[in-house]
């Protein structure tokens, strides 16, 4: 015979409460969808960009920063980039008090500040990909939108994805684009890829979701040129007179 003691009743209530207070897993599971159409569009873009022997693009980068006061400010830097695969890259940055040239000719990389008349040169590996790794990991340098320049960008971008979706249609700088959203642990990124003609990226926003303030870095790309001038002299740095050579601080 079953007896109902207060103890048993409470125990039942405890179990019921535990069951009720679990988060709604099903609704979370719905968000972890990978839309193959979004992946296809991403693949089309990275394949196309990877297939280009050379290209140049104007980028406008907005970096969200947090002041110590907690207020958010944006720092804007524009950069013109010329890439010639497999081993040449040149970038010119101008913006909030930045006037800087970056040269990579397959043997060395150089950072040059014309206003301050200083430059630093380091030996560099023989491919753009290895050079970007070195610049980022050993020197603390970032080339705007470098994520997309990598030859294996698709593999890098789709690693650990738990969300890939087409947000919708959009127009960036007069170009009709597909707006895509991808998510992986700690990072969300959005891409706007040309919907008609060549699948070039026109906007790229990376959001740090691992930190509660969710700061982003955004890049708007324009003036794509898939057949730019790629004179070797463009990528080689000749120090003008009166410039001084300095060093990179090790990280």
Partner 1 sequence: MTRILKFVMLAAALIAMLAVDMSFVLENNLPIPFKRDLHAQLEQLVPNAEAILGVRRRTRRRTAVVVGSAAAASTAAAQQQAYEAQQQAAAAQQQIAAQQPVAASSQPIIPVGSAVKTLPGNCKAVPVNNTSYSDCGGVFYQQAYQGSNLVYVVVAKPI
Q: Which residues bind partner 1 (CB under 8 A)?
A: 5-7, 10-11, 13-14, 17-18, 21-23, 63, 93, 98, 100, 111, 113, 116, 118, 120, 136, 139-142, 146-147, 150, 153, 156-157, 159, 184-187, 189, 206, 208-212, 215-217, 244, 246-249, 251
- Closest contact distance (angstroms) between CB of 174 and partner 1 is 25
Report the candidate in 192, 197, 189 with the shortest Cα–Cα distance to residue 226: 197
- Closest contact distance (angstroms) between CB of 133 and partner 1 is 10
117 vs 225, which CB is nearer to partner 1?
117
How many whole angstroms separate alpha carbon 119 and alpha carbon 133?
Answer: 20
Q: Residue 204 has which token pair?
A: 């790229």
CA geometry: angle 172, 174, 178, nearest 5 deg: 45
* Cα R_g (the chain), whole angstroms: 24
CA 85 to centroid of chain Cα atoms: 20
User: Residues of 219-247 as b/e, b for ≥16 C-beta within 10 angstroms?
Assistant: bbbeebeeebebeeebbbbeeeeebeeee
124 vs 206, which CB is nearer to partner 1?
206
17 vs 174, which CB is nearer to partner 1?
17
162 vs 231, which CB is nearer to partner 1?
162
- Closest contact distance (angstroms) between CB of 152 and partner 1 is 9
Phi, psi of 241 (to 5 degrees): -60, 150
- Closest contact distance (angstroms) between CB of 206 and partner 1 is 4
82 vs 217, which CB is nearer to partner 1?
217
- Closest contact distance (angstroms) between CB of 24 and partner 1 is 9
């Amino acid at each position: 015979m079953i007896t109902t003691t207060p103890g048993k009743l409470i125990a039942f209530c405890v179990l019921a409460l535990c069951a009720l207070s679990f988060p709604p897993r099903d609704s979370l599971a719905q968000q972890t969808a990978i839309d193959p159409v979004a992946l296809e569009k991403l693949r089309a873009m990275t394949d196309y960009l990877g297939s280009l022997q050379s290209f140049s693009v104007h980028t406008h980068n907005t970096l969200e920063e947090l002041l110590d006061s907690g207020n958010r400010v944006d720092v804007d830097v524009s950069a013109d980039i010329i890439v010639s695969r497999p081993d040449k890259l040149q970038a010119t940055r101008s913006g909030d008090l930045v006037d800087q040239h970056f040269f990579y000719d397959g043997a060395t990389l150089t950072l040059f500040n014309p206003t301050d008349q200083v430059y630093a040169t380091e030996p560099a590996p023989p491919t753009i990909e290895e050079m970007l790794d070195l610049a980022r990991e050993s020197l603390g340098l970032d080339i705007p939108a470098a994520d997309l320049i990598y030859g294996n960008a698709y593999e890098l971008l789709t690693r650990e994805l738990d969300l890939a979706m087409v947000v919708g249609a959009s127009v960036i700088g007069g170009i009709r684009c597909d707006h895509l959203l991808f998510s992986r642990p700690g990072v969300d990124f959005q891409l706007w890829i040309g919907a008609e003609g060549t699948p070039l990226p026109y906007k790229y926003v990376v959001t740090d979701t691992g930190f509660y303030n969710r700061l982003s870095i955004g890049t708007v790309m324009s003036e794509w040129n898939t057949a730019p001038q790629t004179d070797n002299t463009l990528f080689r740095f000749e120090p003008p007179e009166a410039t001084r050579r300095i060093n990179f601080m090790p990280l």
